[in-house]
Amino acid sequence: MTEHSFDLETAFQPPARGKPLGEKDLGARMQANGAALAVINNYLSALSAFANKDFQSDLDAQSTKLAASVKSLGSLSEPWAKPAAVSSGYIATAIDGLGHAYIEYQRGKTLERTMSAVQQPLQDLASFVITNDQTAERLLQTMERYYIQDANVLQPPHHGAEQLAFHAYIADVVGQFADARKR
């Protein structure tokens, strides 16, 4: 199975039953959504860490060591030390300047390649979450409708405290359905 043929619906099949998630398997869909959103979140965190990693300080530390060795070479009393130190200074400057430019270039190219390569899998994950959310919304609406239908059949026949308490209870449950759809 390649990354482009990966079927998210199949990937989140409950192992015990071995069948695809159905519309009534709300808990499994929400668990799958949580896992998919965690993947997206962790990808973005990793990408951010790479984008913000201070690779430059490693180069700076090595350039400082190189500059110290150039200075040490220049401080020698032999007549050939000064020209060698000047040549070494050019090398150190080139390494430092080109190194910084190369690191930023490579970082940019790597980020570009990575983001391009994961665009379709990220879109697949987002589509999976959207589909699950829509299915959950429909399921909650259906459950609420059935709940209200059952409540209408079961409501106490006489006006009074018992019927008011029953209506208050039903209103609370309907409010919970509304709260669940907002999440």
Give the tens place of pLDDT for each residue, 26-72: 777 788 888 888 888 888 888 888 888 778 888 888 888 888 887 78
Helix (H, G, I), strand (E, B) or coil at 101: helix
Residue 77 sits at the vertex; the CA angle it makes with 75 and 81, to the nearest 5 degrees, is 70
The burial of 36, by beta-carbon neighbours within 10 Å (0-12 exposed, 13-18 middle, 19 or more buried), is given as buried
Confirm if 90 and 66 have CB atoms less than 8 A apart.
no
| Domain ranges across the chain | 25-117, 130-183
Strand (E) or helix (H) holding 167: helix 161-182
Q: SS3 for 34-69, per residue?
A: HHHHHHHHHHHHHHHHHHHCCHHHHHHHHHHHHHHH
Q: pTM (2 decimals)?
A: 0.59
pLDDT, mean over the chain: 79
What is the residue type of 31? Q
pLDDT tens track for 117-156: 989 988 999 999 898 888 888 888 888 888 888 888 888 8
User: Would you tell me the crossing angle of helices 26-52 and 81-117 to the nearest 10 degrees?
Assistant: 160
pLDDT band at residue 10 under the 50/70/90 scheme: very low
The burial of 172, by beta-carbon neighbours within 10 Å (0-12 exposed, 13-18 middle, 19 or more buried), is given as exposed
In the structure, how many helices (H) and strands (E) does the chain have? 6, 0
Pair of tokens at residue 168: 């208050």
